Amino acid sequence: MQEKDMVNDILSMVNSSLTGYANVIAQSSEQNLRQTLQQIRNSDEQFQYQLYKVAEQKGYYQPAEPASPQEIQQVKSIFTR
């Protein structure tokens, strides 16, 4: 397996985990469990971002073009009704 494939695979797995953490956190009523899961999620988010930056620098990942201010405002208006 090539390094690029491994990096992209790990990014995909971490992204999936982050979605899972969000679901579990939203359903957790026990405060200590909730805080522990939030700390794990935060750590994974930091790891994901660091790996993303490495992938971007090596050309393994090409992000989408930045959204224009108009596009940002349009999305913002959808979620702030």
What are the residue ranges in the chain where pLDDT is below 70?
Answer: none
Provide the pLDDT for residue 72.
92
CA proximity to 37, closest of 17, 57, 56, 55: 17
CA atoms within 13 A on the CB side of 19: 6
Q: How many CB atoms lie within 10 A of CB 23?
A: 10
Q: What is the pLDDT of residue 64?
A: 83
* pLDDT score at 62: 80
Cα separation of 37 and 30, whole Å?
11
